[in-house]
Amino acid sequence: EYMGTNKMSEKVDGDFMKGAGGLLAVIGDEDTVTGFLLAGVGHRDTKSRLNFFVVDSEKTKTDDIAEAFKSFSNREDVAIILITQSAAQEIRFLLNTYDKTIPVILEIPSKDVPYDESKDPIMQRVLRLLGSRD
């Protein structure tokens, strides 16, 4: 039986995770998203909402990426949004104004585009706090 029936497990299940969610959402190119799906990240909720969005650099519109990001960032069951840096560049205007704690936004590299820490505002903030950048 999951977590038993003691009061502590009810407290953890009932209060701690309420609203915090636990899903990972992924926005990125087909190879990146497929890799995460193969790792077991894929999910469809009771409203048939998916927790991933595939971006085709030639076909996907910026508005569609922005809509997927807004959708994931407003879901109570999503705790982390992974977004490839190339997709993040398309919606930088949204990411720069994003101020929620949860879900956390993490920019990741893709197969074809290496990670560039200079384009990641979170990494820049961390580096400034550590005194590694001006």
Q: Which tens digit of pLDDT belongs to each residue from 28-62? A: 999 999 999 999 999 988 889 999 999 998 999 99
pLDDT at 83 over 70: yes
Best-predicted range by mean pLDDT among 18-27, 69-78, 105-114, 119-128?
A: 69-78
Q: How far apart are CA 72 and CA 53, in angstroms?
A: 10
What's the rounded Cα separation, in Å, for the pair 73 and 77?
A: 10
Q: How high is the mean pLDDT of the chain?
A: 82
- Residue 15: which pLDDT band, with cuts at 50, 70 and 90? very low
Taking only the tens place, the pLDDT of each residue in 111-128 is 888 788 778 777 777 888
